[in-house]
Amino acid sequence: MARVELIRVKKYFDRVRAVDGVDLEIRDGEFLALLGPSGGGKTTLMRLIAGLEKPTEGQIIIDGEVVNEVPPRSRGIAMVFQSYALYPHKTVFKNIAFPLVVEGLKKQEIRKKVEWAAGLLHIGHLLDRLPSQISGGERQRVAIARALVRRPRVLLMDEPLSNLDAKVRHTAREELKLFQRGIGVTAIYVTHDQTEAMGLGDRIAIMNEGRIRQVGTPDEIYNEPADTFVAGFVGIPPMNFIEQDDLIVGFRPETFLPSELISDKDAQRFRLKVERVENLGSNRLIYGTIGKDKVISNLSSRFNSIKEGEEHDFSVLSQDIRYFGKDGARIKR
Amino acid sequence: MRVKYRLEQEGVLALLLLLPVLLYVVLLVGVPFIMSFVYSFSNVTAGNPEFRLVGIKNFIDIIGDKVFQKSLGNTFIFTLVSVVLVIVLSHILAEVLIREFRGKWFVRFLVLLPWTAPIALGTIGYLWFLDSVFSPIDWLLRSLGLLGKPGAILGPMTNMYWLGVPGLAMASVIMVHVWRLLPLGTMILIAGMNSIPKEVIEASHIDGAGYFRRLFHINLPLLYPVIGVTVLFATLFTFTDMTVVWVLTKGGPPPHSTQVLASLAFLRGIHGGDLAQGAAIALFFFPVLSGIAAIVLSLVKKAVVI
């Protein structure tokens, strides 16, 4: 268990600024999800923490110690790779045991620890198999077991669920969270999937173009986005934006409702030209335009009186409206 | 029209396309192999048209022949030492050449160069390098004070006589042969190393493995199939090679210090005119090489393919 601090960390590859001045603190025992679009620098940031890359500038601190010059093996970290990176020629047992063998532990002790980790992840029956003989979900568990068996201070995970099919991914997500709480390891989890980040993270750091745009709890990220990038990236469908004078007005599709449903006086009204209605089963998406801005309303399926082609009065409660400047930054009122 | 449809039938077209290769294999590999097999049981010589089967007399003769025994031993020494050196050195070179550094293309080019030169020409170059009087290597050693003075480490004589002293001659032959096989080994190993997923290597860094642990527990086991192929090729090329030996020493210095099976077969069969005995000697390659091929191929099969 440990605290990780990044101070003005930069990593340039030639002229590409993969990580461009990141300040971030990950608390002891916390599960931090690093969320952002592909190519945003998340994986590079994780590799910097792991020691697989050296920062161009800045400091990486684990438990108060600057580790810039410390090789990966001495940082007390473990990592689960997107491809799992199991050793294809070693059995599951030997894969999990490898970090312990390197440490020079006694055979008996290694067996005990491997069985502990395998039991934790329910893969005790696979120990004699080779990675090529087990399923994707099982490989992912082996990779996590290998990462945990040494009791690392920090557990790094690079999109570990992305190679699993949807069903397995869902259960794996639940287990991962329970499991991280259970052993209380500090975890950093890279993903481009906001559902994963929202569901897993104690806090989420949103990253784009090498910079951290916002750090906060899932609630904060969703309800109080720091800028239009975060507001537009998080949420399915994303936040609606409308230009008004020198401001950008933002509101979530699920707060954008037909006026007859809103009795509160403190609301803003809009005239929506309905272009398309999409029935998704549990809810209904209304696509339309206000002036020249495209917006979406997310309604309950039971509300079915709105037809394509008509114009309709919609409202948003004032408390649900967020204002941004033309530069995208949030303006508090 | 009918001919056109005929050609479209898979069997017919396949046969036509395979024909050149089949002819090549049958005429230039199969026929000579069968001929040498038949010759080895006969009394054929270059000067006598008489042909009579003599059973295994030729084999009994050569097995009892001291020169043959020596050549057989030399062949194994030559092959074993060369292959080990090729594997170790090309592994080192490949490790260097998969890294990024300035001027990498130039080093790669230099490493590949021996492969582009005809073997005989390259070897002739070495013949001058190892010349008994004008060797530049000796010249270098002399100017370093290692040779040619009383009390010098390599002796008071002015020259090493690389190709004139039995042990040195074998070492020279091996050195030149290793030089020639190094590009092949290096290229095969570079390809093999590039096929290991980068993340697997990174995982071993994170799991705490140092260089040697990584080498022996991760890299080498994953490279086994590729190393197997390299050993196979290097062994085949070395075991059957006579160019280097023939150009450098012709099997000398006496008594047959660098004579190998290939050069002995050539010496007896072509120079000596005893085709039957030459064929019998050459036939010794067959069981040895097919044995080696079987072993290496089964090793490759057993190894895990990623």
> Tens digits of per-residue pLDDT, A147-163?
989 889 999 999 988 87
pLDDT at residue A167 in the model: 79
Q: Does pLDDT of A321 surpass 70? A: yes
What's the pLDDT band for A56 if we cut at 50, 70, 90?
very high
Contact A85 B202 (CB under 8 A): yes
What angle in degrees, to the nearest 10, is found between the helix axes of B220-239 and B166-194? Answer: 140
Query: Rounded distance, CA B214 to CA B219, Å?
Result: 6
Inter-chain CB proximity B203 and A50 less than 8 Å: no
The DSSP bridge pattern shows strands A57-62 and A31-35 to be: unpaired
Confirm if A190 and A34 have CB atoms less than 8 A apart. Answer: yes
Q: Is the peptide bond before A160 cis (omega within 30 degrees of 0)?
A: no
pLDDT over 70 at B151, yes or no: yes
Interface of A with B (CB under 8 A): 50-52, 71-74, 77-79, 81-83, 85-89, 98-99, 102-103, 130, 132, 146, 150
CA gap A59, B49 in Å, rounded = 88
Which of A79, A89, A146 minimises the CB distance to B304? A89
* ipTM surpasses 0.90: no
Cα separation, B23 vs A46, in Å, equals 60
Mark yes or no for CB contact B207/A81 under 8 Å: no
Start-to-end CA distance of chain A, whole Å, equals 40
Confidence of residue B80 (pLDDT cuts 50, 70, 90): very high
The pLDDT score that the predictor gives to residue B1 is: 57
Bond into A253 cis (ω within 30)? no
Q: Which amino acid is at B87?
A: I
pLDDT above 80: residue A27: yes
The whole-angstrom separation of Cα A112 and Cα A99 is 14
Tally the C-alpha atoms within 13 A of residue B121's C-alpha that lie toward its C-beta.
6
Which of B207, B212, B299 is best to mutate for the A interface (most A CBs within 10 A)?
Answer: B207
Q: Which residues, in sequence order, are CB contacts of A194 under 8 Å at separation 6+? A: A35, A233, A234, A235, A236
Read off the tokens for B3.
Answer: 């001919």
Nearest to B206 among A50, A88, A130 (CB): A50
A-chain residues near B197 (CB < 8 A) = 83, 85
Closest alpha carbon within chain B to A52:
B202
Q: Of the candidates A85, A89, A146, which has its C-beta nearest B221's C-beta?
A: A89
Question: In percent, how much of chain B has pLDDT > 90?
Answer: 24
Instruction: Indicate the pLDDT class of residue A305, thresholds 50, 70 and 90.
Output: confident
Indicate the residue of A50, A73, A81 with minimum beta-carbon distance to B208. A73
Cβ–Cβ under 8 Å, residues B266 and B191 = no
Q: How far is B222 from chain A (nearest CA, A)?
A: 7
Partners of A250 in the β-ladder: A241, A322
Over range A286-297, report the average pLDDT: 91
Q: Which residue pairs from A108-117 have beta carbons closer than 8 angstroms and sit at least 24 positions apart in sequence?
A: A113/A149, A114/A145, A114/A149, A116/A149, A117/A145, A117/A146, A117/A148, A117/A149
Q: Which of A78, A83, A89 sits opposite B222 (nearest CB)?
A: A89
CA distance A62 to chain B (A): 15
- Closest chain B CA to residue A80: B203
* Minimal C-alpha gap between B136 and chain A (Å): 45
CA dihedral sign of residues A81, A87, A90, A94: negative
Q: What percent of chain B stands above pLDDT 70? A: 96
Contact B200 A52 (CB under 8 A): no
- pTM of the full structure: 0.77
**Residue B134 reports pLDDT greater than 90:** no
Least confident of A315-329, B7-21, B190-204, B236-250: B7-21
Mean pLDDT, to the nearest integer, of B278-289?
85
Q: Which DSSP letter does residue B28 get?
A: I
Is the pLDDT assigned to residue B101 strictly greater than 90? Answer: no
Q: Which two tokens stand for residue A142?
A: 């082996």
- Mean per-residue pLDDT over chain A, rounded: 90
Structure tokens at A133: 């003989």
**Alpha carbon distance A212, A41 (integer Å):** 9
- What is the Cα–Cα distance from A65 to A5, expressed in whole angstroms? 10
User: Is residue B238 within 8 Å of B181, Cβ to Cβ?
Assistant: yes
pLDDT, tens digit (0-9, with 9 covering 90-100), for B155-175: 777 777 888 888 888 999 999
User: Which DSSP state fits B302?
Assistant: H
pLDDT at A10: 92
Sheet bearing A267-279, strands edge to edge? A257-258, A311-317, A267-279, A283-290, A293-300
- Out of B213, B221, B304, closest to residue A102 by CB: B213
Confidence at residue B306, expressed as pLDDT on a 0 to 100 scale = 42
A235: nearest Cα among A226, A249, A223: A223
Q: What sign does the CA torsion over A111, A115, A118, A123 have?
A: positive
Distance CA A24, CA A191 (A): 17
The 10s digit of each residue's pLDDT in B204-261 is: 999 988 889 999 999 999 998 888 888 888 888 888 888 889 998 888 788 888 888 8
Residue B22 has pLDDT above 80, yes or no: yes
Q: Per residue in A86-121, pLDDT tens?
A: 999 999 999 999 999 998 999 999 999 999 989 888
Please give the DSSP secondary-structure letter assigned to residue B217. I
Tell me the C-alpha distance between B249 and B162, whole Å: 10
pLDDT confidence of residue B37: 87
Say yes or no to pLDDT of A60 above 60: yes
Q: CB distance B207–A85 less than 8 Å?
A: no
Averaged pLDDT score across all residues of chain B: 85
Q: 3-state DSSP call for residue A157?
A: strand
In what order do the strands lie in the sheet containing A154-158? A77-80, A154-158, A186-191, A31-35, A203-208, A211-216
Task: Please give the average per-residue pLDDT across B119-134, as a whole number.
Answer: 86
Say how many C-beta atoms besides its own lie within 10 A of residue A46's C-beta: 21
Residue of A nearest to B212 (CA): A102
Q: Under an 8 A CB cutoff, do B207 and A146 touch?
A: yes
Nearest to B197 by CA among A166, A87, A299: A87
Residue B304 has pLDDT above 70, yes or no: no
pLDDT band at A216 (very low <50, low <70, confident <90, very high): very high
| Identity of residue B264 | L
